[in-house]
Structure 1
């Protein structure tokens, strides 16, 4: 293997440079700076591409907006399970937003998941149906069991539920979920027991009960950084008090509703307890999400 080629192709911020390595009679770039197929690709076309694609380990940000875009037909061809698996045998980091954020394409992500993927990021598009997202979540849990990092953002406002249990994500150490991805009580208990989870960013459900996590042995024993959105400050306090990690460094809490001074006093008391027992703790952020309403 040519070491220079390995370095050149190891990390990619777009797929268009790779597609432009296909035979010239297969594709064309039009005035819209978009690449289209001129004919259907043959198996030998993909074989020619593997010289480069097999070296790619990461498809990730920063996204290269100046490079040509790929027309949806090309994306669908590349994201065919057999094609994708043979093209990218070394891929372990995939930010799907590099490839697409479009509703018609997001469902194809589940076709390219594999145990080789350890770092996965994607965004939920606007106007995507619940069945598509439910199927995607189920596929991630079933097919990407080696995930260490999972980040899900969103361009929409519809809520989706993710259910975690059993042996889901045993190696996870960084989880970031958009505000509209809801975790059940069972899922929270599952996260609390993950032995490697160090970074956590998500929204607590409105019906969160702190007693749930107090019943969990060694809840969040490895957490270092926490960012939580929730409805009310007492929920922040309850979650904060459940963390037993001796390595906690920073917490950020964002809550929606106005709170009386007694709730703030209880929260600050928990801050004092955490500072006393956790010498690594150094950063605290607390913010009320001001919600404005106008009436005629």
Structure 2
């Protein structure tokens, strides 16, 4: 007799996309300034990414630009994967107070939103994953090709422009109780500015020129932000449609290996949805998970403790079994 597999989630209804949500799941509408800021941080880096080839022909790409791009890509990425996601959202480990605040600040520098709102959105996603109420399911409009393409755009990018926000008081009350964390979250625009300004400042100081500041700003600021955004958004879109599903979960989360390094291990998404609090997402042989290694380092340094590492018994119980002949 084969082990039960995940129930196939039904398509969400476009006429009532928030059907099934509790009455207080949605908070206030986004203000005009917040919407304008969102458009700037999403559209401008995307245009910069589209201008990469002309930029290479016009100004070139120095090793300093490459180094800054890599550093300002992976440090904020880990702020999101280790901090926003595995620590703040799912409690995969406990952290010292300085590490807690540092993870919030560095996560904000990924320019994906304030930590409190990000956590609220993601907890709501897990509560309704690929069902009515999920803020960014690619199966929102149905299973046919046209509906799925529309749903993947919504999951990848479109959901960010919904006017109503997830109610943080319902989905992230623990974070709202932390005064320092609330202040850090409210200062998101400051951390976002620094995320773009620091590469330019370093490039200008090292080269002693405005040209060095500009190329560093372009590559390690704008292009880096666009790349990081699209890799993160791909976890919402691609990793719920394309890939393998070795573990049973109640949704369609998949593993998509091509994004493993660029996503810091987040694209081992199937295991994450099968066991959300697990600190390691890449649990099978050959699955690189940079974020889990960083958590391991924090644990060794004494900055993190009570880490929820994979349990072989739990993993075995969640493995998908082939259907009986």
Name the TM-score class by shorter chain.
under 0.3
Structure showing greater Rg = 1
Taking structure 1 as the reference length, what is the TM-score of the superposition?
A: 0.27
Taking structure 2 as the reference length, what is the TM-score of the superposition?
A: 0.25
Structure that is richer in strand per residue: 1
Question: Larger relative contact order (C-alpha < 8 A, sep ≥ 6)?
Answer: 2
